[in-house]
Chain A
Amino acid sequence: MPLETILNVVTGGLLTGLVYGLMALGLSVIYGVVRIVNFAHGEIMAVAMYAAVVGFAMGGVDPLWMIVPVAVVFFGLGYALQRGLINPFIHRPEHSQFMLLLAVALIMVNGLLVAFGPDARNVQVDYSLDSYEIGPLLVDKVRVICAAVALATCALLFAVFRYTAFGKAIRACADNLLGAQVVGLDVRHLYALTFGLGTACVGIAGCLLVLLADVTPSSGPAFTLLAFIIVIIGGLGSMPGALAGGVLIGVSESVAGLLITPSAKSMLSFALLIAVLAFRPQGLFGRAAR
């Protein structure tokens, strides 16, 4: 196998993995703070992808320009969802939370089916088929742009959590809930804000992914599963872990497809998942339970 082919495939996997990482980041942030596993995560992303498709079909708006409005709307949607529906379930058993979010996911899938029908939709912008030639590398332009936007979004999110008072308050809730309540933080509001941030992240990921892949109403569950694999490998609740997990899955799937067989792509993801669960259950970047 020529080295340049391997380099091209690894680069493609790396760039796709960064977008996967952004998608999984939303799930990880929500779990890290609110301690709720969002089982409707992939479905929310499918809704964002359809929003980008509609924007392009109705007004010719490039999904990259849709990122800001989608992020704002999805932040509000996440906030409202948490305050109105999920908050009452925070102290309930995990199976109740699971059923609630599964119901939300089913409603979204079927709502999309009613609104858009079963056909696959995609967005073909002018630069969809362009690529950059860098030495022996031939890099897909769309992937480069998507990966850059995903990295920028992650950096922004890290900065918000590290440097803003609001981010520090959210981290305080995650680190010591009782302490946060004692010092008078509005935990319910902060939980909703966190859910909003996580949902905005997945909304942005949806606008990027629609440039890379078709979307159907049934795409959601597959994305949820992929996000779970990534955050479990990276470490549930760990932000760097989500990004690293995305890259790891993106690259390993590509390399497995190239060196073994394309049908082995998903197989390797699940093999990695099993290996992590067996030898490092807290994930690569997660903290071990004390």
Chain B
Amino acid sequence: MVTISRRQFNRAGAATLGAGVAASVAPTVLRAQNRTLKVGVLLPRSGTQAFIGQSCQMGADIAPALVKQMLGVDIELMNADTETNVDVARSRAEKLINDGAQVLVGPFDSGAAIAIAQVAEQRRIPFVVNIAAAPQITEQGFRYTFRNFPTSVDLVRNGLSLMRDLFLATGTAPRSAVFMHVNDTFGQANRRAVDAILPRLDFLPFKVVDTISYDPAARDLSVEVAKAKATNADFIMLVSRLNDAILLVRELVKQRWSPQGIVSPGSPGMYEAQFYRALGKYSEFCVSNVPWYDPNAALSKRVDAAFVKQFPKERLMFHALNVGFTFEAMLVAADAFKRAGSTDGAQLAEAIRKTDIAERMMIGGPIRFDAKGQNVQIASACVQNRNGAPAVVLPKSAAQMAPVFPMPDWRARG
């Protein structure tokens, strides 16, 4: 029989304890020394928002090489498709975190963003929203969610101000508008913002004569357009996605209704590459008052060079908003990672909270987040479709050409 003395027992115990402590400390040390940030990118790459999701994905795809050049840190992308479905977005966020994602970026959809924000909060993983406007995303006290994109309220406020500028610049004063909006979280948030803000703006010459909401997955908008046409409004104020914006214009042409204009107070759809491809001459003169990129900014030029290199068949201007905000979200995450020197969720979130990035691609002040995790310094531009491409027409300081309003009749377009 082997006997162990008290001294031998204590020595063995101390050795075991020491090994245990070393083992428990080791991962922390390793984590702190980790040179690569794993970024879970959640985007709607299929479903009704597929084109926009794939457009945003390009912004993520160019990020690793560009961020390495700019900040000297490595980021590894972990891509997930939300399938334009809130429930799928939630489960994909869970899976990405389980698979090792240390920060989440995405998801170009307000409903999906709210679902992902809840997961991020539970799992204590920072979530940087690229594009999503519903105010509640940053109004619910989430500590791990940050948004470098305006809320619907800011978006609509900026968009309506630009409408005034558009009418002043073109010497027009339309008296009535029909407000058409997609009936999802984003569309509802915009509707609430329009309902709250518009009645208080006495500088706008028009009244909204009817509000028409429609299904985001609608196969056909003939009834909606017939209803809008019956109002005989001067112009359409549109909050859309992409597919529905295309359906709507096609239906306007079929029903031979040429309103004075189609003006978005801040929504996607009409400046996307697919809009021009699908509609050709009928895509012309539509107006989107949206956050936009500054093509003359140094960062825009670097992004453009990287974009052309990686996607030689594409042009940045058709993806500017999607690529710009997605890239900036990646930049926010990488910058925080560099300053925190850690992939720990709490430390990364704290570093993101202290973000101060002056050199940026999108128009607006430096990227800084307020106590709610919201960047409040993002401006909009009035972007009109001209000669098959989006062109800034307002504000004058950034204008590439003068705005046209009213737009020419459909039948007068050759």
Contacts and interface: CB of A to CB of B under 8 A. Distances in A.
A complexed with B: yes
Nearest to A212: B220
Contact of B223 (A119, A120, A140, A262): A262
B254 A129 contact: yes
B243 A262 contact: no
B215 A129 contact: no
Interface stretch (B160-168, B225-233, B366-374): B225-233
A247 to B, nearest CB: 16
Interface string A203-239: 0000000001110101000000000000000000000
Contact of B50 (A12, A120, A140, A212): A120
B256 A138 contact: yes
A257 interface: yes
B72 interface: no
Given A214-B243, A263-B215, A257 B254 contact: no
A24 to B, nearest CB: 16
A129 B223 contact: no
A27 B214 CA distance: 29
Contacts of B250: 128-129
Contacts of A12: 222-223, 226
A131 B254 contact: yes
B231 to A, nearest CB: 10
A13 B222 CA distance: 9
B408 to A, nearest CB: 16
Contacts of B26: none
Given A12-B222, A131-B256, A262-B215, A118 B45 contact: yes
A212 B247 CA distance: 10
A19 B220 CA distance: 14
A81 B47 CA distance: 29
B268 to A, nearest CB: 15
Interface of A: 1-2, 5, 8-9, 12-13, 16, 113, 117-120, 122, 124, 128-131, 133, 138, 140, 212-214, 216, 218, 253-254, 257-258, 261-263, 265-266
Contacts of A263: 183, 213-215
Contacts of A118: 45-47, 50, 81, 83
A16 B50 CA distance: 26
A250 B254 CA distance: 19
Interface string B355-379: 0000000000000000000000000
B48 interface: yes
A153 to B, nearest CB: 21
Contacts of A128: 250
B215 A265 contact: yes
B233 to A, nearest CB: 14
Residue in A5, A213, A266 with the greatest tally of chain B CB atoms within 10 Å: A5
A261 B213 CA distance: 8
B278 interface: yes
A169 B253 CA distance: 49
A220 B224 CA distance: 24
A1 B45 CA distance: 40
Interface string B361-400: 0000000000000000000000000000000000000000
18 contacts: A8-B226, A118-B47, A119-B50, A129-B250, A129-B253, A129-B282, A130-B254, A131-B255, A213-B219, A213-B220, A214-B243, A216-B47, A218-B47, A258-B226, A262-B213, A262-B214, A263-B215, A266-B215
Contacts of A133: 256
Contacts of A257: 223-224, 227
Contacts of B282: 129
Give the 5 A-B CB pairs with smallest separation, nearest first: A118-B46, A257-B223, A213-B219, A5-B230, A129-B253
Contacts of B405: none
B248 to A, nearest CB: 12
Given A214-B219, A262-B212, A1 B253 contact: no
Interface in B72-118: 81, 83
B51 interface: yes
Contacts of B229: 5
A200 B223 CA distance: 30
Contacts of B213: 261-263
B113 to A, nearest CB: 20
Nearest to B211: A261
A257 to B, nearest CB: 4
Given A118-B47, A131-B256, 10 more contacts: A1-B230, A5-B230, A8-B226, A118-B45, A119-B51, A120-B48, A120-B50, A138-B255, A213-B219, A261-B212
B214 A9 contact: no
A247 B83 CA distance: 32
B58 to A, nearest CB: 15
B55 to A, nearest CB: 12
A5 B227 contact: yes
Contacts of B218: 262
Contacts of B227: 5, 257-258, 262
A216 B243 CA distance: 12
B51 A265 contact: no
B223 A124 contact: no
Interface string B259-283: 0000000000000000000100010
A113 B47 CA distance: 11
B251 to A, nearest CB: 9
Given A124-B278, A140-B254, A214-B243, A265 B45 contact: no
A214 B243 CA distance: 9
Nearest to A209: B219
A2 B219 contact: no
Contacts of A214: 219, 243
Contacts of B45: 118
Contacts of B51: 119
A128 B249 CA distance: 12
Interface string B34-72: 000000000001111011000000000000000000000
A170 B212 CA distance: 49
Nearest to B212: A262
A120 B243 contact: yes
Nearest to B183: A263
Contacts of B215: 262-263, 265-266
A253 B254 CA distance: 20
A127 B230 CA distance: 25
A214 B99 CA distance: 36
A224 to B, nearest CB: 15
